[in-house]
Amino acid sequence: MKITIIGTGYVGLVTGACLAEIGHDVFCLDVDPRKIEILNNGGVPIHEPGLQEMIARTRAARRITFSTDVEASVAHGDVQFIAVGTPPDEDGSADLQYVLEAARNIGRTMNGFKVVVDKSTVPVGTAQRVRAVIAEELAKRELAGSDQHRFSVVSNPEFLKEGAAVDDFMRPDRIVIGSDEDEAGQRARELMKRLYAPFNRNHERTLHMDVRSAEFTKYAANAMLATRISFMNEMSNLADRVGADIEAVRRGIGSDPRIGYHFLYAGCGYGGSCFPKDVQALIRTASESGHNLRILEAVEEVNDRQKDVLVQKITAKLGDDLSGRTFAVWGLAFKPNTDDMREAPSRRVVAELLARGAQVRAYDPVAVTEARRVFELDLHNAPEQLARLTFTSTQDETLTGADALVIVTEWKEFKSPDFVYLKSVLKSAQIFDGRNLYEPDAMTELGIDYHSIGRPYAQPSELPADA
Binding residues for substrate, as ranges, are: 159-162, 218, 263-267, 271, 335
Q: In this structure, which long-range contacts are made by residues 159-163, counting pairs with CB atoms below 8 Å and at least 24 apart in sequence?
A: 159/218, 159/221, 160/10, 160/11, 160/14, 162/10, 162/48, 162/272, 162/273, 162/335, 162/337, 162/338, 162/340, 163/48, 163/49, 163/335, 163/336, 163/337, 163/338
Q: CA 423 to CA 429: how far, in whole Å?
A: 5
Strand partners, 27: 4, 65
Strand partners, 405: 328, 431
The annotation places the binding site at: 30, 35, 86, 121, 159-162, 218, 263-267, 271, 277, 335, 342
- Distance, in Å, from the CA atom of 236 to the CA atom of 179, rounded to the nearest integer, reads 42
Burial tier of 278 (Cβ tally within 10 Å: 0-12, 13-18, 19+): buried
Q: Which residues are annotated as a binding site for NAD(+)?
A: 30, 35, 86, 121, 162, 277, 342
Q: Closest by alpha carbon to 57, among 111, 101, 105, 16?
A: 16
Residues contacting residue 388 through CB under 8 Å, at least 6 positions apart:
354, 358, 359, 360
Q: Is residue 274 flagged as an active site residue?
A: yes
CA-to-CA distance for 450 and 326, rounded, in angstroms? 17
Cβ of 163: how many Cβ atoms within 10 Å? 20
Catalytic residue among 18, 28, 268, 274: 274
Please give the positions annotated as active site. Answer: 274
